[in-house]
Structure 1
């Protein structure tokens, strides 16, 4: 009798391992392992990204708070600037309250303006002023022609010690009509670039 063929125990194992169900299961198990590993890496990156976003939100919150504080400070400064501008306008008006502007007095080297103004006021307007009645006499601005094609002279600002003296001069100023001289109220804008 012939000897029975020994079956190898490897064949059933190979058969089981090569069966479609085992192969698909193995592929799925390997895929799940890689997917699980990839998912863990993705979760780590998402947590890091969430931290970055939280930090950005905190930074944005600080920026918004600072922006709000800056807007409030700017608003406060605008109020102070407006207040100071109004104060300057009041000082400007007060400063010019006793001033007149005299035009037409020719400029000379070494001139004594106060003496020339006193002479003009007494001779042309018949007004006499004491030594302390004139607080300020000085030229200002650009030279302006006294008459067409003639000499040029800068205007003169005259500040009186007393407001009533200014009023007397302005009332008498019509006596200068027809001459090269004129006297007017001080309407200069001392505050340039002022926004009302």
Structure 2
């Protein structure tokens, strides 16, 4: 093999090594581009999913508002005993007049039994003809304290869930700060003129804040909020918080 051939072989080897390095660099740049593309695509997908979740929540809230409107004249009665074949309309009229001691005649559109037909302390859904009558009956509800009876508003399941958690937040506040005034209005807890609501993702929210809060009226409630968030959703049966008044 002459000198010229050796030189050609050396040059060829050198070119092969450079080409190999060049191919490796090109592959790397290509891989980087693919990774960036996947990241961008993943970001877009997350944004789309978040947008869909927001839209779903807005739809749920609109349905909830409509359902609340449909139930606005309803009351839920608990603890009333009656015979399985009893006329529920007369049972409720007797309860209003002789237990709640409401002198005004209450116009009732319908009475619906929830649960077994045993008539022993079951739940009755009462639809009233007049919205004003509902509040007349609710104002009389404190007379039921200690009787085993209860009267409460009829809320959609999602509202009942939020109210239940807000009631437990209020109980913790009163435990740590006796005498604290917390009023429950629909699905809002009012403390020191601040309205708090519940969101399963962020927990307890104050006013228009989208983030959760862990302190109310100087009381640290982060532990109870975390415990409530960790709870699995309850079934959607027609259960609700026990209360003699709609919002104490």
Give the TM-score taking structure 1 as reference length. 0.59
Equivalent residue for 2:128? 160
Which of 36, 39, 43 aligns to 1:61? It is 36
Q: Which structure's CA Rg is the greater one?
A: 1
Equivalent residue for 1:20? none
Q: Runs of 5+ in structure 1 lacking a partner?
A: 1-24, 144-150
Deviations 1:126-175 (A, max 9, x none): 44344xx324533269x9xxxxxxx9623323221321121232244455
Equivalent residue for 2:78? 103
Contact 1:105–1:181 (CA under 8 A) maintained in structure 2: yes
Size of the aligned set, in residue pairs, is 159
In structure 2, C-alpha distance between the alignment counterparts of 1:84 and 1:177, rounded to whole Å: 39
Which of 105, 120, 124 aligns to 1:128? It is 105
- Would you tell me which structure has more helix in proportion to its own residues? 1
Aligned pair in 2 of structure 1 residues 38, 100: CA closer, same or farther (>3 Å)? same
Contact 1:114–1:137 (CA under 8 A) maintained in structure 2: no
Equivalent residue for 1:12? none
The reply on whether 1:190 has 2:167 as its aligned counterpart is: no
Deviations 1:69-126 (A, max 9, x none): 1132133224323423443453454344322222221264345433321332244434
Contact 2:77–2:123 (CA under 8 A) maintained in structure 1: yes
1:119 alignment partner, SS class: helix
Contact 2:79–2:123 (CA under 8 A) maintained in structure 1: yes
Q: Runs of 5+ in structure 2 lacking a partner?
A: 163-197, 200-204, 206-248
In structure 1, C-alpha distance between the alignment counterparts of 2:128 and 2:42, rounded to whole Å: 52
2:125 alignment partner, SS class: strand
The reply on whether 1:71 has 2:38 as its aligned counterpart is: no
1:104 alignment partner, SS class: strand
Aligned pair in 2 of structure 1 residues 129, 42: CA closer, same or farther (>3 Å)? same
CA RMSD of aligned residues (A): 3.8
The reply on whether 1:181 has 2:156 as its aligned counterpart is: no
Deviations 1:37-63 (A, max 9, x none): 322222332343244234323322321
Equivalent residue for 2:220? none
Contact 1:102–1:155 (CA under 8 A) maintained in structure 2: yes
Give the TM-score taking structure 2 as reference length. 0.49
2:55 alignment partner, SS class: helix
Aligned pair in 2 of structure 1 residues 52, 107: CA closer, same or farther (>3 Å)? farther
Contact 2:76–2:123 (CA under 8 A) maintained in structure 1: yes
Structure 1 segment 9-158 matched on structure 2, within 5 A:
30=6, 32-91=7-66, 93-106=68-81, 108-124=83-99, 125=101, 126-130=103-107, 133-139=108-114, 153-158=121-126
